A and B are shown apart, each in its own frame.
Chain A
Amino acid sequence: MTAKQILAVDDSRTMRNMLKQTLGEAGYEVSLAEDGVDGVERLRDLTPDLVITDINMPRMDGFRFIEEVRGLGRLRGVPILVLTTESDQALRNRARAAGATGWIVKPFDDGNLISAIRKVTVG
């Protein structure tokens, strides 16, 4: 069985490094992008099993990015988890309406993150 692929989108290099390490150690193959524009670019030649995205990012924020991903027919069914410092309910609703699968408030806990990923990537 090949490793599942995750695209992680975050404008903070520190966060990208942490995600790459945590997810890599859990056996996932991780691609990184530094904002929504970069994420869309990466998805041209990548069909990940899961997308993780931050919300507050320059050029293209997480909401727009989720809409863009859902607009690509190929990726209509891919789970998208938001990983953000925000915890506001209105923002969660907005992400849900845009097509997000879940919402995780930073700072993330390794165990919770991995079990959420397992839940949404079964099969």
Chain B
Amino acid sequence: MAGSRDPQEWPLERERRAPQPDPVLPPVVDANGTKTLSVLQGQFRVSDDPDAVMTTILGSCVATCVWDPDTGVGGMNHFLLPGTEKNRSGNLRYGVNSMELLINALLQQGARRENLHLKLFGGARMFGTEDGIGRKNAEFAVWYVETEGLRLVKKCLGGTRGRKVRFWPGSGHAQLKFLQNDWHETLSPETTTPRRRADDSGVVTLF
């Protein structure tokens, strides 16, 4: 279990670690009935609720927004390739896994692979982070989409500013806002209390 962390530490320190799923935050419902679903680093969410909007804040991480216009099912992930160039294939696996989890969850909710549309955001070069982390995430995302033959309809990757992304999974509509350079110090505290979940990735069970 991770102990409590200084909110100031987030996200620059966290982004250097291997992604660990944080608890999924409950939807926040506003007066108009819009349900806001936060997607934290290492997580993904899928919804077919027409009132749902997914939101995330990105530095060097990348978010993939995917939807099937025919069935109105969509989802978002938020990933970071951990580590350094030394363990390149191991790092790629985390990205591949994040993509697979998202796409499998969409297919299980009725989306069809051939209908999937994608938008990619993030991968900035953030002040205080290792050079190339954002670029590596962005390059991975584009490479994955091309390798899998998926339909990329929009990408906004790179640069030096953080991004806030809102994504409506039913329609595929996305809204992007660039953040000021001090954005990571002004985050609301509820997104800064991560807890780790048991993770059995890589574990082998022989029957």
Contact = CB atoms under 8 A, between A and B. Distances in A.
A101 B147 contact: no
Interface secondary structure of B, over-half rule: helix
Interface in B73-130: 89-90, 92-94, 96-97, 99-101, 104, 107-108, 113
Nearest to A104: B204
Contacts of B144: 14
Given A12-B96, A14-B96, A106-B201, A56 B207 contact: no
Contact of A103 (B92, B93, B94, B205): B205
A102 B203 CA distance: 11
Nearest to A11: B113
B205 A102 contact: yes
A108 B97 CA distance: 9
Contacts of A100: 207
B206 A120 contact: yes
B189 interface: no
Interface string A82-115: 0001010000100010001111111111101101
B33 interface: no
Contacts of A47: none
